[in-house]
Amino acid sequence: MEYYEDPTPGLEGMAELHRITGLNLATNMVVTDFDQLRRSIELNSVQTVLSDHHYWGGLRDTQVLARICDTFGLGISMHSNSHLGISLMAMTHVAASIPNVTYACDTHYPWVNDDEEVVAGGKLPIVDGSVAIDFSRSGLGVELDHEQLEKLHQQFLDIDIRSRDDARQMRLYKPEWSGESPRF
């Protein structure tokens, strides 16, 4: 087993499990910023950080995270959530620039519907578990389908996702739930 991902909530629970079992524990839930990373290093709670460039402040800060992980002997990989081709390419580019990414990066991209992609030409191919980078093109190497982007933007506006009250729903199951990171 390469690592056990988020088996317990919180840094203290992860540290205790690691102390008892010696398992390589990974997370994308309890270490999502540099303050949590500092505390995790102090407790030895996480041995592999599953980074996400959205949480860590972008591509450059994810590279900084990788250097810190290397300094402290921690593994690093990349977590993903539901994202489109732009985010997948950003993740692919930053992963390719980090020599100590030694674990396969995670992506939910295969579950994106073909009609939801905003990259011109449709969904990006994943071949033998890899996404190719086209270094002959500028930026992330993809072009936007502006018509599709407008369609999905309108869909976002129509569903009024900003009015959701997930905290109220979560408190039905866990009354003390605050909605603050990490979210379990």
Q: What CA dihedral angle connects 168, 10, 26 and 166, to 10 degrees? A: 10
**CB 53 within 8 Å of CB 91:** yes
* Structure tokens that stand for 46 in this block: 């996480």
Backbone conformation region of residue 166, classed left if phi is above 0, alpha if psi is from -120 to 50, else beta: alpha
| 77 three-class SS | strand
* pLDDT of the residue at 184: 42
Whole-model pTM: value is: 0.82
The H-assigned helical ranges of the chain are: 10-21, 34-43, 59-71, 85-96, 146-159, 166-173
Instruction: Give the mean pLDDT of the chain.
Output: 91
**CB 28 within 8 Å of CB 6:** yes
Segment 33-51 shows an average pLDDT of 97
* pLDDT of the residue at 10: 93
In the chain, the percentage of residues whose pLDDT exceeds 90 is 71
Structure confidence by residue, pLDDT tens digits, 115-170: 889 999 999 999 999 999 988 998 999 999 999 999 999 988 888 766 767 777 78
* pLDDT of the residue at 162: 67
| pLDDT above 70 for 182 | no
